Structure 1
Amino acid sequence: MKDIMGLMKQAKKMQEKMETAKAKVADLRAEGVSGGGMVRITLSGEGHMQSINIDPAMIIADEAEILEDLIIAAYHDAKVKIDQKQSETMQSALGDMGGDFQLPEGMKLPF
């Protein structure tokens, strides 16, 4: 019975740490850049686009396809960065619980 109570306390503590980590992830921001800074995109910790900045020199009707490609590249740059920040934040939360906890390759938190 003592073991079950200990497990319940540990599970509750883990749940609290996960909630704290999720809140930290939500506050994260990452900026993706392409075209030497001509296009910038900022993503939130949830991966939602928060802002997009395009240098006015890029807004040329005949070159819309180039601008489209730069927007996609900036988004992907920001996505890679925010994924890394999410992973680091969640690993930090799990690491605080003791041990050398590692997620299986390809698995991300929160699930």
Structure 2
Amino acid sequence: MVGVGKLLKQAQKMQQKMEEAQALLSEEIIEVSGGGGAVSIKISGQGEFKGLQLDPDFLKEDPEFISEAVLQTIQDASEKAKKKSDDAMSGLTGGMQMPGLF
């Protein structure tokens, strides 16, 4: 049963490292812009949106164009945050996908 105890300790260490990595990701802010710089989004490394700025002149454009540009920027920001999280976690798990993470 010594192997089980060692495995349990390794799992606890991995969990602690993952919690530390998640804390760092929550503090890291990624800035993404779109619509030719008219849309700016801030998102944490864990995918929590922190800010949205729109250029006032941009709001004079066609509403459909504005919606598409904002949506695309949101999707880009979400994708970058997910990649940042995946990269951080894969470094800890050796590339194994852990269910329930981001």
Q: TM-score with structure 1 length normalisation?
A: 0.77
- SS, match of residue 12 in structure 1: helix
Larger Rg: 1
- Asked if the contact 2:40/2:52 (under 8 Å) is kept, the reply is yes
Residue aligning to 1:28: 28
| Separation in structure 1 between the aligned mates of residue 39 and residue 99 of structure 2, nearest angstrom | 28
| Partner amino acid, structure 2, of 1:44 | S
The count of aligned residue pairs is 102
Residue aligning to 2:11: 11
Residue aligning to 2:95: 102
Residue aligning to 1:85: 84
Q: After the TM superposition, list the runs of 4 or more consecutive aligned residues in structure 1 that deviate by more than 4 angstroms.
A: none
Residue aligning to 2:38: 38
Residue aligning to 1:66: 65
Residue aligning to 1:98: none
| Alignment RMSD (CA, Å) | 2.1
| Partner amino acid, structure 1, of 2:84 | K
- Asked if the contact 2:46/2:82 (under 8 Å) is kept, the reply is no
Unaligned runs of 5+ in 1: 95-100
1:55 lines up with 2:55 in the alignment: yes
Unaligned runs of 5+ in 2: none
Q: What are the Cα deviations for residues 57-105 of structure 1, in whole angstroms up to 9, with x where unaligned?
A: 1122x622211111101111111111111111112233xxxxxx2225x
- Asked if the contact 2:35/2:70 (under 8 Å) is kept, the reply is no
